[in-house]
A = this chain, B = another copy of it.
Amino acid sequence: MATVAPGREAPPVSPLAPTAPVDLAPLAGVRLASIAAGLKKKQGVLDLMLMEFAPGTTVAGVLTTSKCPSAPVDWCKNNLGKGKARAFVVNAGNANAFTGKAGDRTVEHTVDAVAKALGAKAPEIFVASTGVIGQPVPQDWIAKHVPDLIKKLTRDGWHAASEAIRTTDTFAKRATRTTRIGFETVTIHGIAKGSGMIAPDMATMLAFVATDAKLPAEVLRALLKSGADKSFNCITVDSDTSTSDTLLLAATGQATHAKIATATDANLKQFRIALDELLLDLALQVVRDGEGAQKLIRIDVTGATSPKSAKVIAMSIANSPLVKTAIAGEDANWGRVVMAVGKAGEPADRDKLSIAFGGTQITKNGQIVETYDEKPVAEHIKGQEIHIEVDLGLGKGAATVWTCDLTHGYIDINGSYRS
């Protein structure tokens, strides 16, 4: 259940939500507990989650690049380098962001309480918070619930955990992959939340992934960075970056498989593919829950002078309000794509630019294709999944990003009065 302002209806489930729900079976080395701790405005709904890991679990993370990060993000940044995790503690309702030094004290209280209860060290406890910004929270607001959480720990808690971290998400986000390392089967589970930055309670993108594989922290780091660059770092709902974005990956080491020492080990090939897929699955679920989203948009840029240049141009298209409103209006307005390429500031040549919508070439070498037939494009743009391809004709740089359209729903959700 998402938190919504009193008097407002909970939003209906996004039309882009996956139709088949994903169930996550117990994963060796992971126990979970979720409770209704009264942190969300709406009482009686799950809002606090503890994910406990077996001793020896390694961890890696990717955090927001915001220069004004939340206190929990600062804590994670300072402790991920040690590479060990015994728990993730996650709450919804208050982001503990822009709460000054007091916010840091609250995080310390939380991790101390959890560490003590689990017989772990404080730097092995990671925290993430989502909700209102700038509202100071009492030091013990999570700490006091730790005994209750510990009591409720269960191997079957994945579903409840995915619910507890929701804010205005219209659906809970879960994904799983079964793969192998060498010849042995391993599993990866993930949960996520996020649907833009959400009003009236500020929100964020959070994702927590766990595997029973046994992998050194530096290997996890390399795998996660590479996977995030192709998934969570390639999505955008509204170009806004939260103060709290957090992606954590834990490996409990309970599976038995060939020892892995480096991220380039050939035995990791399948695992890497599966992790990349799972991360993209979760990331696209976030876009599918973009505030007001009616359409999922995939943008492929090729022919750029470098992959980085391609990404900048793809993001310029994906973040353009004019492109996004055109798609919302089912208008294949490719002129706005030209505009967005032009404003990106990256190398581009008007007379080499080619654009296709839904596989139909519209322009080639800077001019509209003479035989261009608008019919298949008009048909394509009425669908739920829109595909835009831009070939700059300059080099070999390529990038793919995903976004959603910009609709009245976004204004409704984000322009409402705070209660």
Chain A interfacial positions (CB closer than 8 Å to B): 64-69, 97-102, 132-136, 196-197, 199-200, 202, 238-243, 319-322, 325-326, 328-331, 333-336, 338-351, 353, 363, 365-368, 406-408, 410-411, 414-418
Contacts and interface: CB of A to CB of B under 8 A. Distances in A.
A374 to B, nearest CB: 10
17 contacts: A67-B346, A67-B349, A102-B367, A134-B334, A134-B363, A197-B336, A197-B339, A202-B335, A240-B321, A321-B406, A322-B414, A325-B410, A328-B415, A329-B415, A331-B417, A410-B411, A411-B411
A331 B136 CA distance: 19
A335 to B, nearest CB: 3
Contact of A67 (B135, B196, B341): B341
A365 B101 CA distance: 10
A243 B351 contact: no
A414 B348 CA distance: 25
Nearest to A346: B67
Contacts of A341: 67-68
Contacts of A349: 67
Contacts of A102: 367
A244 B155 CA distance: 60
Contact of A331 (B367, B368, B418): B418
Contacts of A334: 134
A202 B343 CA distance: 15
Given A67-B344, A331-B200, A339-B202, A411 B408 contact: yes
Nearest to A132: B335
B325 A415 contact: yes
A240 to B, nearest CB: 5
A365 to B, nearest CB: 7
Nearest to A196: B322
Contact of A240 (B97, B136, B343, B414): B343
B68 A342 contact: yes
Contacts of A406: 321, 411, 415
Contact of A202 (B336, B365, B411): B336
Which of A68, A325, A366 lies at the interface centre, i.e. has the most chain B CB atoms within 10 A of its CB?
Answer: A68
Contacts of A363: 98, 134
A348 B200 contact: no
A338 B411 contact: no
Given A200-B331, A330-B417, A344-B67, A134 B325 contact: no
Nearest to A71: B350
A242 B99 contact: no
Contacts of A368: 134-136
Contacts of A350: 67-69, 98, 100
Contact of A417 (B329, B335, B366): B329
Contacts of A202: 333, 335-336, 339
